[in-house]
Amino acid sequence: MKVRLRNPDREVELAGGRKVHEVLRELGIDPDTVLVIRERELVTREERLAEADEIEVRPVISGGGGMKCRRCKAPAVVELRRHNAAFCRDCFLRHVHEQVKRAIAAFDMFGTDDRILVAVSGGKDSLGLWDVLLELGYRADGLYLGLGIGGYSSRSRDVVRAFAEEHGATLFEVELAEEYGFDVPTAGKKGSRSTCAVCGLSKRYVFNKAAREHGYDVIATGHNLDDEAATLLGNTLRWQTEYIARQFPVLPAEDGLARKVKPLYRLSELETAAYAFLRGIEYVVEECPLVAGNTQLRYKEAMNRLEAASPGTKAQFFLNYLDRGAPLFAAQDAARLHPCERCGEPTTARFCAFCRARAQILGERLGEPPGGAEEGERLAEPRGGEGAGQRRTGDRVEDEREVVRALSEEVLPVEIYGRSGA
């Protein structure tokens, strides 16, 4: 029996004539973390596989072996341990729509007249989000930002274009290198920031600028529950109260910052992956090749282990934060913004973090220092150097709003932006 595994892509030959969960056990794979696909159909963990079968084991979802749909009692294809429930295809898609509607209503994210700009990366979350919003009748356009990460970026762009074409949706594209003179791999090597930090910073910058220039009412990103729980864990482990305060499903427009919303915050990664698959969305399954060793992934792993031992831990952590924790931190978010002297985007400093990072990467100098070598020093800032006893992960030195965002959302595979129509 041929088994195709992803991340990295590879094929193995295994004995057939046994059940899905037995094959997964031999592979050392937790059935709750993968989709098992045979001839474009999901198979559940109790199903028997034949010698002649060819299967794909794709992160991330569970099959509901022999289970019935909670809603209609048809055979289930998705099992959600956290909800102690399983769903058939149609009821699962409805479940996802309901969760997104609930999120939109709970935070009054946007209405049907609002123009929404969806940050699309080509991954399951952002394309799934775009799909849900179109299905629900919202005015949602897409934005794709080319990061210049070799084949990964070009494959992502192709997938996003195909989605837009198939749905007759408007897609904007921009190439970071064309527009700003550097790509993400170069930035990771040349600047003082980590690759993930400068990538997130660039996405937020370009994205915010585009939304305001094109007159969109709101930016929507595909952050899911796993993203939010992992980020909250990281921020809480350091008690970074300002970052915690800003980790909210809605950030209102203010001082040059566009309104931002995260309509998938109630859905786990498993749910968004299942949604994209069951809707037949071709998405980029591979992970960004630069993400290895990212601390965010470590926090996701920690949360996944706790979730496996006690299903519901992630949701409890993030949703209880929104109910009980967030009100205590609200007063911590007190930064005042004004326009960057170089580009006009909002910042708490003289020049915004993006302009500073860009100048550093390109070896340029940002104006003359106000009263000495201050700006020059900033640009030459070394990788280490904060207070004793603290370790540097990403950029945790500067006390600025846009850096706060870069940090509190370190991995942002979905926050990207584009320019010309599809």
Binding residues for its own copies, rule: CB under 8 A, are: 236-239, 241, 295, 298-299, 301-302, 305-306, 309-310, 312-313, 316-317, 320-321, 323-325, 328-329, 332, 389-391, 393
For residue 78, the SS3 value is strand
Up-side HSE of residue 247: CA atoms within 13 Å toward CB?
35
Q: Which amino acid is at 133?
A: L
Q: Report the residue number, 114 or 398, with the smaller CB distance to its own copies.
A: 398
Q: Report the residue number, 382 or 389, with the smaller CB distance to its own copies.
A: 389
Tell me how far, at minimum, the Cβ of 319 lies from its own copies, in Å.
Answer: 9
Tell me how far, at minimum, the Cβ of 318 lies from its own copies, in Å.
Answer: 9
Tell me how far, at minimum, the Cβ of 266 lies from its own copies, in Å.
Answer: 13
Q: Report the residue number, 293 or 371, with the smaller CB distance to its own copies.
A: 293
Q: Report the residue number, 44 or 296, with the smaller CB distance to its own copies.
A: 296
The angle, 0 to 180 degrees and rounded to 10, between the axes of the packed helices 269-278 and 225-237 is 160
Tell me how far, at minimum, the Cβ of 48 lies from its own copies, in Å.
Answer: 33
Q: Which amino acid is at 415?
A: E
Alpha helices by DSSP H, listed for 281-408, are 295-309, 313-320, 326-329, 353-362, 374-380, 401-408
Q: Report the residue number, 17 or 312, with the smaller CB distance to its own copies.
A: 312
Bridge partners of 85, per DSSP, are 80
Up-side HSE of residue 388: CA atoms within 13 Å toward CB?
0
Q: Report the residue number, 116 or 232, with the smaller CB distance to its own copies.
A: 232
Tell me how far, at minimum, the Cβ of 299 lies from its own copies, in Å.
Answer: 8
Q: Are 244 and 329 in contact (CB under 8 A)?
A: yes
What's the angle, vertex CA 328, arms to CA 323 and CA 334, rounded to 5? 120
Q: Are 265 and 109 in contact (CB under 8 A)?
A: no
Tell me how far, at minimum, the Cβ of 327 lies from its own copies, in Å.
Answer: 9
How many CB atoms within 10 Å of residue 313? 17
Rg of the chain taking only CA atoms, in angstroms: 22
Q: Are 118 and 142 in contact (CB under 8 A)?
A: yes
- Would you state the structure tokens that stand for residue 372, as one six-digit string? 């000495």
Strand 218-220 and strand 250-251: pairing? unpaired
- Would you state the structure tokens that stand for residue 70, as one six-digit string? 């909670």
Q: Which amino acid is at 124?
A: K
Tell me how far, at minimum, the Cβ of 328 lies from its own copies, in Å.
Answer: 5
Q: Report the residue number, 154 or 390, with the smaller CB distance to its own copies.
A: 390
b/e burial code for range 269-284 (CB count within 10 A of at least 16 → b): bbbbbbbbbbbebebb
- Would you state the structure tokens that stand for residue 351, as one six-digit string? 């020049």
Tell me how far, at minimum, the Cβ of 231 lies from its own copies, in Å.
Answer: 14
Q: Report the residue number, 15 or 237, with the smaller CB distance to its own copies.
A: 237
**Interatomic CA distance for residues 178 and 92, integer angstroms:** 41
Tell me how far, at minimum, the Cβ of 323 lies from its own copies, in Å.
Answer: 7
Burial class (CB in 10 A: 0-12, 13-18, 19+), 212: middle
Q: Report the residue number, 233 or 276, with the smaller CB distance to its own copies.
A: 233
Q: Report the residue number, 207 or 299, with the smaller CB distance to its own copies.
A: 299
Q: Which helix (H) or strand (E) holds 158?
A: helix 150-167
Tell me how far, at minimum, the Cβ of 398 lies from its own copies, in Å.
Answer: 18
